[in-house]
């Protein structure tokens, strides 16, 4: 019984650490990782991975990969393979384009509204031109790779309240115009109401005076003889 009555608060730090670890683990597992392979001969060798999708994309090269794996050939293509959810995406550029760009390339990752990858584009950082002797030059180091994420662009929403080509917003504008016209008419003749009141008093002043005298006489106290 004494063991059951022990306070629960000493276990709170351990539970908090466990909760933080679970949150961090869920964030890591939620990130998408795209393995990238480049072709050498008839085989595809792992070049690296694209991690941090979709918020902080980054290309992490394979530690055992080297520039010696790239063997440029005249009029040849540099071929890539990206694997995602049992789906293989093949991309390629000319070797001469890579050499002209000083071995700089870019991955464009296309994601949907939920952040899921559905396509990958691959480009060399050049305008497409190739130098004369670019087909035989080798990279002196690993390539410089940039990763960009293309988010979906939401379509413009239709304007509500449009009937027969006319927007209902025109009605409040027309009402406001009418109100301004009425206000303008009132400002043009501001003394019409006062003139009508003055003419009424001049015409019926004697009736007003008689009514006031009648009220005063009825409100006066009765004489003392009448009280007795």
pLDDT tens digits, the chain, 228 residues: what are they? 445 455 555 655 665 666 565 555 444 445 789 999 999 888 999 999 999 998 899 999 988 876 667 776 656 889 999 999 889 999 999 888 888 888 899 999 999 988 899 999 999 987 777 765 655 566 666 789 999 999 888 777 777 765 555 555 555 566 666 666 666 555 555 555 555 666 777 777 777 777 777 777 776 566 555 554
Give which of 86, 78, 89, 77 is closest to 145, Cα–Cα: 78
| CA gyration radius, the chain | 44
pLDDT score of 25 = 44
pLDDT score of 67 = 63
Give which of 70, 76, 50, 77 is closest to 62, Cα–Cα: 50
94 and 78 Cβ atoms separated by less than 8 Å: yes
- Contacts of 133-138 with C-beta under 8 Å, sequence gap 24+, read 134/95, 134/96, 134/99, 134/100, 135/72, 135/73, 135/74, 135/75, 135/76, 135/95, 135/96, 135/99, 136/72, 136/74, 137/72, 137/99, 138/67, 138/70, 138/72
Ramachandran class of 86: left when φ > 0, alpha when ψ lies in -120 to 50, beta otherwise: left
End-to-end CA distance of the chain: 100
38 and 48 Cβ atoms separated by less than 8 Å: no
Query: CB within 8 A of 142, min separation 6: which ones?
Result: 61, 65, 66, 67
Give which of 63, 65, 137, 156 is closest to 98, Cα–Cα: 137
Give which of 138, 126, 145, 153 is closest to 34, Cα–Cα: 145
d(CA 65, CA 51): 17
pTM: 0.55
């Amino acid at each position: 019984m004494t063991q059951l009555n022990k306070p629960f608060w000493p276990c709170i730090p351990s539970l908090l650490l466990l909760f933080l670890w679970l949150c961090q683990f869920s964030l890591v597992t939620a990130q998408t990782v795209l393995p990238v392979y480049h072709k050498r001969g008839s085989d595809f060798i792992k070049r690296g991975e694209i991690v941090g999708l979709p918020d902080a994309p980054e290309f992490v090269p394979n530690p055992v990969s080297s520039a010696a794996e790239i063997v440029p050939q005249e009029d040849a293509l540099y071929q890539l393979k990206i694997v995602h959810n049992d789906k293989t995406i093949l991309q390629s550029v000319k070797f001469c384009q890579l050499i002209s760009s000083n071995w700089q390339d870019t991955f464009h990752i296309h994601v949907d509204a939920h952040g899921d990858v559905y396509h990958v584009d691959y480009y060399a950082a050049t305008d497409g031109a190739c130098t004369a002797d670019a087909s035989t030059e080798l990279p002196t180091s690993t390539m410089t790779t940039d990763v960009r994420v293309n988010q979906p662009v939401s379509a413009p929403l239709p304007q509500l309240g449009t009937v027969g080509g006319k927007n209902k917003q025109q009605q409040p504008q027309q009402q406001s115009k009418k109100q301004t016209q009425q206000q303008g008419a009132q400002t043009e003749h501001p003394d019409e109401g006062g003139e009508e009141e003055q003419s009424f008093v001049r015409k019926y002043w004697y009736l007003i005076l008689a009514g006031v005298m009648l009220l005063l006489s009825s409100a006066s106290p009765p004489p003392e003889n009448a009280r007795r």
